A and B are shown apart, each in its own frame.
Chain A
Amino acid sequence: MLKKTLRWALACLAPGLPLLATASEPAPLQHFTLDNGLQVILREDRRAPLVESQLWYHVGSSYEYPGQSGLSHALEHLMFEGSSKIGPGQFAKIFARIGATENAFTTHDATVFHQTLPSDRLAIALEAAADAMETARLGATEYAREIEVVKAERRRRVDNTPIMLAEERVLSHAYAQSSYRTPTIGWANDLEQMHVEELRQWYRDWYVPNNATLVVVGDVSLETLKPLVERYFGAIARRDTPVKKVPREQGSVGERRLDLRLPQLEPGLILAFNVPSAATAEAPYLPQALRLIPQILTEGFSSRMNAQLLRHEKLLSYVQSTYEPYRRGDTLLTLHAFPNPTTQPALADVEMRVWEMLEALKSTPPTAAELARAKARLIASQVYVRDELGAQADAIGEFVGSGLPLTYLNDESQALQAVTAEDVQRAAQSLLTRERLTIAYLQTKEVDHE
């Protein structure tokens, strides 16, 4: 998507904006690419003398082969166990002492290392990140300990958290074909047979400058940032990565029904529909219309299901739906509905009422007021997200991971505004179908007390 050039490729997106951005527009994204392929994206935010630095490696669980699930996440853990300039386990302490908060996370599409720190210390974050890109130690001793941490994390966050376990099972069915079915934490038996040499190979394969994006948001200018990035990352050699495959789905493969009974699982329903992302949708209106559907149905106190099913019919205690448009492959629109423990409706009745409300959206377009409200909330939230450096960088990094060109963001607001009530109806009709649905009944499994 971004052209690699031999020299600094400097581009100021949205070139029509005045130098001093007005309050209503965010500062334009500035970007350049090093000779070795490292992409750098900067959004200046001068409100406080702080900077957020995030290094996004474009590799996550959707890149993993069967039997290797959890590899990206395990490598993320081991990256804190030393490189040529930093001793094992020292990273967190160094950053705490200079007043930084830092952590890392892994998703289906990315492995991300991030720090928030005083802007006069940005060089420390960049030097440490560059050192880790080139010389991570990945020692066998540290691996032996850290893989136990990962297994413990899985036991705690998934195996002992019934809703997460249910979620994992839903995803493994809802993605009938694509590698998005692979759980990011890894299947328990894959973690058992993982070997440190696999992590080292994964590191050699993917931790290269041409497979990474550095996202910086905060109190720094391009003039200051550029030489720093060049100084620390410039000498790292580019290397070809393995071929990347876009996770695609057939879509209408037929309804999949799951009956999940687990100890201490709260009764509820999970619905997941196979839908395209902004990167895979053929019709440009579609992802923006899909973003509006959760707003109309479940998000906000005034949404349809909150007003009708939760407050009026007292059928539900909680309802939520989400659609994440910025993924590199085909994605899901998911809906969670939990029955009211006071009225205790049968799950079949909950399904029936939820489905009737989905059908209502297909048979009648949303009202002008509903559509306006949904748009107003999304557009305001795009302003509110600019109050936090980390949230801004998260959004930029996630977007870049989708593979869409940055120029897409220039038209995003207009595209959202242009969505009509009929577009929403059309999206619901074509995508919220039984053929695209995975539905899980979550129920409490009674355990015998001896």
Chain B
Amino acid sequence: MSERTTPRYTLMGLGILLAVALLAFFLARPAQSDNAAVAEKPAAKPSSTLQSLAELDNKAPSRRQLDIQTWNTAEGAKVLFVEARELPMFDLRLTFAAGSSQDGDAPGLATLTNAMLNEGVAGKDVSAIAEGFEGLGADFGNGAYRDMAVATLRSLSSTSKREPALKLFAEVVGKPTFPSDALARIKNQLLAGFEYQKQNPGKLASQQLFERLYGSHPYAHPSDGNAKSITPITVEQLRAFHAKAYAAGNVVIALVGDLSREDAEKIAAQVSAALPKGPALAKVAEPSEPAPGASHIDFPSKQTHLLLAQLGIDRNDPDYAALTLGNQILGGGTFGTRLMSEVREKRGLTYGVYSGFSPMQVRGPFLINLQTRAELSEGTLKLVQDILRDYLKTGPTQQELDDAKRELAGSFPLSNASNASIVGQLGAIGFYNLPLTYLEDYMQQSQSLTTEQVKAALNKHLVADKMVIVTAGPSVPQKPLPPPTDKPAEQPLGVPEH
């Protein structure tokens, strides 16, 4: 729904945390793998004799109906609210148009401002703030991306927990003091993260890709900035950025949980009144078309990272549904997409290959990414380009479109199952000015699309020969690709062979 990047200050820590947590868990299919030799699954239709599957009628599954309520606060903040009384908790999510696209000539300013919110308020240092939230069992969260910066609160809903948690949250987002010792510490964390990124070819490739796609546009630089840009940033710059970008007119307040409309109005009013007064910031400019072509980063890894991109669409583009469905078939889904089937299933060249549009406030990227063995990287790149060219030429088949629609309808209930997912949806609807009926509209639009409409939309926005390509890996002699093995799907057998 919205652009996301990996968390920043916890970059190294999070990696460690996950490693530790996952040591005991070995999945049947990890999210990614760099082993290319493993995959040779047949690409044909799933076959089964499951009786319950045969009995399943074609109707879309029912889904949770959301009653989204909306209003504006006295200071001009837009509020979206869903009452959900089942659990004694609530989620509050503030989305400011205060992402790194507002950095100006100080890349990293938005990230630092956001990271400094909970480092000090009048009479409380970072430890006292943390004790305040944690003593109530409340979780404070924050993050800055290209379009947006967020501050979140999850708390129990009983008055004795809710009221002090909200009071502290309002101070943190509205009246941070930006202590200078904390700024030095957070800069150090970011600097350590930059050092760590130098070892990560995927990260380096992605940074170069954004530079080439966006040139002088503010989406070009990473949200964290770089070592040179963050070092001179001062507390005064943070104060000035906070005063304009964390203004009540520049925020969307999303609320979900065990609250009445009256409670929600009170909370929104309290948070809004605590913020600096001011209007919404001007939208960033449209990016201009990048120069297509390939560039390479020499890196001593075994795998080569391949990234292929073009400018895609903004979040309000009328072709959003057609492009999302079209992309689902190309490389947005998990198994059986055109890219997965040709690159992984028939040739075993990668563990995973994915494509996707990232719609943003102005045109976000359309991106295809994969890793492959270094000596096969040139052939694989050409194969991916051929698949895209062919897909744009022929468009999806009726069967592909029907399957994609069914999968989309089936997975739709998951999109608003939890308070966490609903509050995220509300934030996006508010931030990108989508209609309240957006989720339903999107589903209906998607289900009524024809193959011709999907093909036309894809060709309106993508041109096979205009991709911006970045590769990162070792320079090694290249080998030809193995031929595809188009094994037909094996039929189920009656008994185990033992």
Contact = CB atoms under 8 A, between A and B. Distances in A.
Contacts of A118: 61-62, 410, 413
Contacts of B161: 380
B489 A136 contact: no
B126 A84 contact: no
Interface string A380-399: 11011011110000000000
B413 A377 contact: no
Given A387-B418, A389-B417, A380 B156 contact: yes
Nearest to A268: B16
A158 to B, nearest CB: 8
A300 B334 contact: no
Interface string A126-168: 1110010001111110000100110011011100010110011
A218 to B, nearest CB: 9
Interface string B1-40: 0000000000011011101101111111110011101111
A105 B28 contact: yes
Interface size class on chain B is 35 or more
Nearest to B136: A376
B70 interface: no
Interface size class on chain A is 35 or more
A57 to B, nearest CB: 13
Interface string B181-217: 0000100110110010001000000000000000000
Contacts of A46: 86
A204 B322 CA distance: 49
Nearest to B132: A302
B46 A90 contact: yes
B24 A86 contact: no
Contacts, number: 290
Interface stretch (A29-37, A314-322, A347-355, A356-364): A314-322
Interface string B480-493: 00000000011111
Contacts of B46: 87, 90, 93-94, 97
A77 interface: yes
Given A49-B62, A155-B35, A86 B492 contact: yes
Interface stretch (A249-257, A280-288, A334-342): A334-342
Nearest to A140: B497
Nearest to B135: A373
Given A322-B20, A373-B134, A384 B89 contact: yes
A120 interface: yes
A96 interface: yes
B42 interface: yes
Nearest to A306: B130
A302 B134 CA distance: 7
B382 interface: no
Given A23-B258, A97-B407, A124 B50 contact: yes
Contact of B26 (A50, A98, A157, A372): A157
Interface in A78-132: 79-80, 82-90, 92-94, 96-101, 103-108, 116-121, 123-124, 126-128, 131
Given A99-B412, A105-B26, A152-B33, A342 B192 contact: yes
A181 interface: no
A168 B12 contact: no
A235 interface: no
Contacts of B24: 107-108, 184
Contact of B334 (A92, A164, A168): A92
Given A94-B48, A145-B40, A342-B191, A373 B61 contact: no
Contacts of B52: 121, 123-124, 126-127
Given A82-B493, A383-B156, 14 more contacts: A47-B84, A47-B418, A49-B62, A77-B28, A87-B491, A89-B42, A96-B333, A97-B46, A99-B409, A99-B412, A100-B410, A302-B131, A307-B127, A380-B161
23 contacts: A48-B416, A82-B490, A86-B50, A87-B48, A89-B41, A90-B48, A96-B334, A97-B410, A101-B411, A107-B25, A153-B35, A164-B19, A300-B130, A311-B126, A317-B13, A322-B20, A338-B12, A373-B134, A376-B136, A380-B156, A387-B420, A388-B418, A389-B417
